[in-house]
Amino acid sequence: EMAADTTFTKILVGLNVDELSVPPVSVLKVKKVIRSISYEEAKSLVEEIFSTENYEKIYHIIKSQKPVV
């Protein structure tokens, strides 16, 4: 379910996840997000999240990511 939520796609890519299991209805949305980001960008996001100790700041970092539609 997390893999189908495009809010987390960049994070999963940054974590070096190379296979995602998503429902057929989500495949095109997730592919579009993956194609629109770079690995370096995703890895940088994950490093920022890992270096943040405050839950509220992590939540803000995740929510501040612009969704790809």
Reported as a single tens digit per residue, the pLDDT across 36-61 is 999 999 999 999 999 999 999 999 99
Collapsed DSSP state (helix, strand, coil) of residue 58? helix
Q: What is the pTM of this model?
A: 0.86
35: its two tokens: 């194609």
Q: Which ranges of 1-69 does DSSP label H, i.e. alpha helix?
A: 9-14, 27-36, 39-50, 55-63
pLDDT at 34: 94
Report pLDDT for 68: 64
Measured at the CA of 22, the angle between CA 42 and CA 69, to 5 degrees, comes to 55
